[in-house]
Amino acid sequence: MTLASRSRSLPVAARVGAVAVVAAFAVVAPIRMAQGAPKTRFGVVPAGVTSAGSPTDRFLAASVDGSAAEAGPAVPPPPGPTVEVPFPASHLGVRWTGSEAAAVDIRLGGPGGVWGPWRSMPADHDLEKEGGGPVLSELILAHGATQAQVRAAGDARDVEILAIDTLHGPRSSQVATGTPAGAADGSSPGSGSSADNPPSDGGQDRSSDAATSSSTTSTTSTTKASTTTTTAKARAKVAEPPIVTRKEWGADESIRKNNQKYAPITKLFVHHTVTEADSDPAATVRAIYAYHVQGNGWDDIGYNFLVDAQGKVYEGRWARDYAAGEKPTGEDLDENGVVGAHVLNHNVGAAGVAMLGDFSNGEPTQAARDGLVQLMAWKADRHNIDVMGHDPFTTSEGAVEFFPNLAGHRDAGQTECPGDRLYPLLPGIRDKVASMVTAVHGPTTGYWTATADGRVIPFGDAPALGSMAGKALSGAIVGMAANPSGAGYWLLGVDGGIFSFGNAPFYGSTGDMKLNKPVVRMAPTPTGKGYWLVASDGGIFSFGDARFFGSTGDLKLNKPVVGMASTPSGKGYWLVASDGGIFAYGDAQFYGSTGSLKLNKPVVSMAPAWTGKGYWLVASDGGLFAFDVPYFGSVAAARPEKYAGAVQMRATTTGKGYYIADANGGIAPFGDATFLGADTSQRPPKAAVDLVLGPCGGVAGWRRRSRRRSRACPDCSWWRRRRRPGRSPGPPSTSSATASATAGGWASSAPSATP
């Protein structure tokens, strides 16, 4: 029986007592209230200092610990007046008009009148603006300072102190609703808060009224910011790390501007904030935000994400409103990244991640590095960025530059960022990021088999872009190569005729030349803007941006050349003969050969490690020879009862596996090579002749390549074999002044290594 039903039979006094009991319980139950993060205060104080000396002068300054930071004139210039800071400052910077070479120092005083040492305030290169403007120093901890003095030398003028308080401002109160999503470890990233006291955003709500719409760059269409969950695409598999949202770290959304622009992300930059270790990293993030917006005049914080010493990731520049429970991505609904401000002229198409701290003399913690790796792996996988690559990048000034896809700030600007102790760690960070992406996708997600009659059989995610099936051929197909974009490929005829499909351009062929020996293989350049052909006598024919580095065309060989491979840089190549002899040209290094060994069966192919440091050779019986690379097994070791004979081998992008393909179309994977299918019905004269892997495997992925595929019919380009009407294919290019044309190709000096 409920309390209500029982009350009908109770006297009035009893019913009044029951109501009083219920009311008493309601009064006793507390309503939990939580205090948000302190509202950030920002103040500008003229330093009242006149600079002395020339821009090259430098006076004696002191580091944080009081030791001499930089030696200069024995007598420093006189300091400016003592100025009052409008509130106890948690962080402080200096702004001046002039050059970055100007020398500016500051010392701080507390309420008790105790002064700290003079500290150098060098310019912060992360705060450079495309239109120029005042110079801002690095941001320092002020420890509640209420007074300051500045001295300057060089061309510094209009010197101002930028005071920030992220700790002592008014706090907003709100009903406690639970632990914030970003504080998975039970502690909140905000100042003085706990699981029961989640920080707010300083009283400002990130509603759609805060930023109703966003303009875009020329590369994207206009996108309206709305509270909508993005539909995750199946291609991304690396998990997004926990991210401390702007609301959780206390961003004051009223100070940012609504001028967001978006662009596809192709580069990832690593920075350091050059800030001191802080027990409250969220307070430092709030200070950086205020410094960038109110001190430097930017629309928002410059970085897209930040990582603290504990490995926590913080949401940076505002991109859009997110649905309840949706993690921030820093992207619009089309997965275009919001354009930040962190590398001069290199922001459109890049995401900037800042490591909290100064890594000029000390390394980031292991937790911070792990957080960076997880974040970068998620972004690289989400945007199909090959972090081991050096893809071209077009700057805001229109210049095309090549630098690492996962880069340090200094790779694209005149700066020491991200610090002399962090920058050398980037190669290892790239390796870990690539391994993390590869681990969830596998190193290869697609491959093709090519047959002698011109058929191309795709497996996995490899797209079918066309073939020569059913078309008249003047000779058998002997090889195949994929454009590094993954959206095109070439077939190679025995006469050197080239058949191009998808977006693989035709750069020339030997189809109308009289050759001394047949062409046996081809290799594309790393850019996909050229290729090499090699004949059985080692003659090299180079087209497009493929450079000539040497050949064996004028040498007497013990055995014919059967294959070739390019170095990762495209500035060299290897040739391999059927006796396992290796000829190295350009920057290709010699690691060994089987030229002096008695083989059971001839060598048919080679595959270099993706680093270019070592290679494998495979014989027709599936025997495997490894030189400065790991051995993962062979077909010959398995002793198959019937084996059609190996025709090709390809290494995975990790260097931890390889495939061996046979003439019947069989494919044998070893190491981390993933079997994606095979068609073993191929027989002469339609036997399998080549195997080509999807470029970059899981690191860059087929998911990006296939969706950017040319919309033209893939069979429309087959006619370009040999030459176009009225167009001469031209001679093969060569950069060697001593090169001479021979019947077998273009030959120059002797190889750098002999069999």
CATH number at residue 88: 2.60.120
* Contact between 519 and 496 (Cβ < 8 Å): yes
Domain final residue, candidates 422, 440, 458: 440
Q: State pLDDT tens for residues 394-407.
A: 999 999 999 999 99
Rounded CA separation 296/133 (Å) = 9
Query: How is 144-198 classified by DSSP, letter by letter?
Result: EEEEEEEEEESS-EEEEEEEEESSSS---EEE--S--TT-TTSS-SSTT--TTS-
* Contact between 284 and 91 (Cβ < 8 Å): yes
* Contact between 331 and 263 (Cβ < 8 Å): no
Domain count, the chain: 4
Instruction: Say whether both 522 and 666 belong to one domain.
Output: yes
Strands 83-97 and 157-165: antiparallel
pLDDT of residue 16: 45
Instruction: Say whether both 274 and 403 belong to one domain.
Output: yes
Domain membership flag for residue 524: yes
Instruction: Say whether both 431 and 506 belong to one domain.
Output: no
pLDDT of residue 719: 23
According to the 3-state scheme, what is the secondary structure of 354-403?
Answer: EECCCCCCCCCCHHHHHHHHHHHHHHHHHCCCCCCCCCEEECCCCCEEEC
Query: How is 648-665 classified by DSSP, letter by letter?
Result: EEEE-TTSSEEEEEETTS
Residue (of 430, 338, 416) closest to 126 by Cα position: 416
Domain membership flag for residue 269: yes
Residues 6+ apart with CB under 8 A from 369: 311, 425, 429
Rounded CA separation 297/256 (Å) = 10
Amino acid letter at 655?
G
Instruction: Say whether both 8 and 143 belong to one domain.
Output: no
- Looking up residue 394, the CATH number of its domain turns out to be 3.40.80.10
Q: State pLDDT tens for residues 79-89.
A: 999 999 999 99
Q: State pLDDT tens for residues 607-644.
A: 999 889 999 999 999 999 999 999 999 999 998 989 99
Instruction: Say whether both 640 and 531 belong to one domain.
Output: yes
Query: How is 309-348 classified by DSSP, letter by letter?
Result: TT--EEE-S------TTPPP-SB-TTSPEEP--SSTT--T
* Contact between 343 and 336 (Cβ < 8 Å): no
pLDDT of residue 748: 25
Instruction: Say whether both 429 and 448 belong to one domain.
Output: no
* Contact between 672 and 656 (Cβ < 8 Å): yes
Domain membership flag for residue 653: yes
Domain membership flag for residue 9: yes
Domain membership flag for residue 173: no
Instruction: Say whether both 483 and 427 belong to one domain.
Output: no
* Contact between 309 and 365 (Cβ < 8 Å): yes
Domain membership flag for residue 158: yes
pLDDT of residue 237: 84
Domain membership flag for residue 297: yes
Dihedral-angle region of residue 207 (phi above 0 means left; psi in -120 to 50 means alpha; beta otherwise) = beta
- Which residue shows structure tokens 């030959």? 747
- Collapsing DSSP to helix, strand or coil, 20 comes out as helix
Rounded CA separation 399/85 (Å) = 44
Instruction: Say whether both 208 and 300 belong to one domain.
Output: yes
Domain membership flag for residue 35: no
Instruction: Say whether both 215 and 92 belong to one domain.
Output: no
Rounded CA separation 189/268 (Å) = 25
Q: How far is CA 306 from CA 249, 278, 372, 396, in A?
A: 11, 14, 9, 24
Domain final residue, candidates 405, 440, 475: 440
Instruction: Say whether both 460 and 413 belong to one domain.
Output: no
pLDDT of residue 174: 59
Amino acid letter at 275?
T
pLDDT of residue 440: 82
Instruction: Say whether both 119 and 135 belong to one domain.
Output: yes
- Looking up residue 636, the CATH number of its domain turns out to be 2.120.10.30
pLDDT of residue 34: 57
Instruction: Say whether both 24 and 58 belong to one domain.
Output: no
Give me the residues of the chain with pLDDT under 70, please. Answer: 1-35, 52-75, 130-131, 173-236, 695-755
pLDDT of residue 279: 92
**Range of the structural domain that residue 9 is part of:** 3-30
Helix (H) or strand (E) holding 221: none
Domain final residue, candidates 420, 440, 460: 440
Strands 688-693 and 667-671: unpaired
